Amino acid sequence: MSTNSYDWDRDEQEALAGLEDQIEAMRTRHRADPPFELLRAAHGDALPSDLQAAVSEHISESAFSRTLAEGLGDDEPELSREDEQRLLARITRDARKASEPARTWGWLRPVIAGVGIAAVASLAWFVVDRKPVAGPAATPESTVAVATPPPAPFLLPFDKPDVKIGMAALTWRGSSQGNNQLLADLKPGLDAYRAGDYATAERELTALASRYPGTIEILFYQGISKLFLNDPAGAVTSLSAAEAVGDPSFAGDVSFYRAVADQRAGNAAAARTRLEALCAAKTGPDSQPAARACAALDQITAASSPGR
């Protein structure tokens, strides 16, 4: 609901003159109603089950909320021809992108097979041709030292976390016009993040950091973008700042990705300590990052066991 409750223009004031008490009574009656978006989502049966049940029950009891839930009828907006075309182009592009890895590997398969055959042939040539034959004994210089490369350090894999917006950002009010400028300013960075353009996301979010200090969405997605940009030290800095904000709705995710960043930055001990603490909290409300932390610890253990 807008905080700007009586921003009526002259026409509205004239039309509603004498009805102010009734308007106020209506506002009081419906102050605690679920918001319009939830009513509409519940009407489409598109809410998580517990919330769906609560909002549906409210809708069944309130004619006012039922009217809102049913929406605009024949006047529901449509996509313009241009938007329809733009969306089709986006879907086609995404579909092509999704099929690219398979195509790449398909193309690489004969190359890999060829390299394999060549390697086997070289080995065979080496074994057959370099067999000691009668003749001068091999000098030390002619022996081939085959060194096994040290195993690459194990790096914790991580998924891209979806964008979520916390309560503070959703209810941010920095202007008198009732518009949420923070959400508007976050959009370019988060859109780039969603699209996988982490360089742009990182740049856009960094540009906002001084204007909106202590905003969890900026710091968290900035940190994740840096992880994807292979800048674990930068990610540690951002996620450390995100951790200092202390937003409970992000805490588990911040801690998990901070552990990933620590490990990739070479601080495996700090990563393990953090993951252990997170894993131990798996019975709490933030169970998803905890489960991921436990799985990550298993992966680290498996990777460090002999015979890897």
Partner 1 sequence: MATFEELYRQHVQAVFRFALSVAGKREVAEDLTSEAFLALHRNLAGIDQGQLPGWLLTVVRNRARDWWRRQVVERRYAEQYASSTEPEAPPVEHWMLDCADLKKVHRVCLMLRYVHGMTRSEIATRTGLSETQVKGHLQYGLSLLRKAYRMEGM
The interaxial angle of helices 181-194 and 216-228, nearest 10 deg, is 20
CB-wise, 12 or 298, nearer to partner 1?
12
CB-wise, 58 or 274, nearer to partner 1?
58
CB-wise, 170 or 233, nearer to partner 1?
170
Whole-number minimum distance, CB 65 to partner 1, in Å?
A: 9
CB-wise, 87 or 280, nearer to partner 1?
87
Whole-number minimum distance, CB 42 to partner 1, in Å?
A: 9
Whole-number minimum distance, CB 86 to partner 1, in Å?
A: 9
CB-wise, 19 or 199, nearer to partner 1?
19
Whole-number minimum distance, CB 138 to partner 1, in Å?
A: 59
Residue owning tokens 């049966």: 45
CB-wise, 38 or 297, nearer to partner 1?
38
Whole-number minimum distance, CB 183 to partner 1, in Å?
A: 10
Whole-number minimum distance, CB 201 to partner 1, in Å?
A: 16
* Cα radius of gyration (the chain): 30
Whole-number minimum distance, CB 32 to partner 1, in Å?
A: 3
CB-wise, 40 or 282, nearer to partner 1?
40
- How deeply is 30 buried, as exposed, middle or buried, from its count of CB atoms within 10 A (0-12, 13-18, 19+)? middle
CB-wise, 3 or 210, nearer to partner 1?
3
Helix H, strand E, coil C: the string for the chain is CCCCCCCCCHHHHHHHCCCHHHHHHHHHHHCCCCCHHHHHHHHCCCCCHHHHHHHHHHHHHCHHHHHHHHCCHHHCCCCCHHHHHHHHHHHHHHHHHHHHHHHHHHHHHHHHHHHHHHHHHHHHHHHHHCCCCCCCCCCHHHCCCCCCCCCCCCCCCCCCCCCCCCHHHHCCCCCCCCCCHHHHHHHHHHHHHHCCCHHHHHHHHHHHHCCCCCCHHHHHHHHHHHHHCCCHHHHHHHHHHHHHHCCHHHHHHHHHHHHHHHHHCCCHHHHHHHHHHHHHCCCCCCHHHHHHHHHHHHHHHHHHCCCC
Whole-number minimum distance, CB 193 to partner 1, in Å?
A: 13
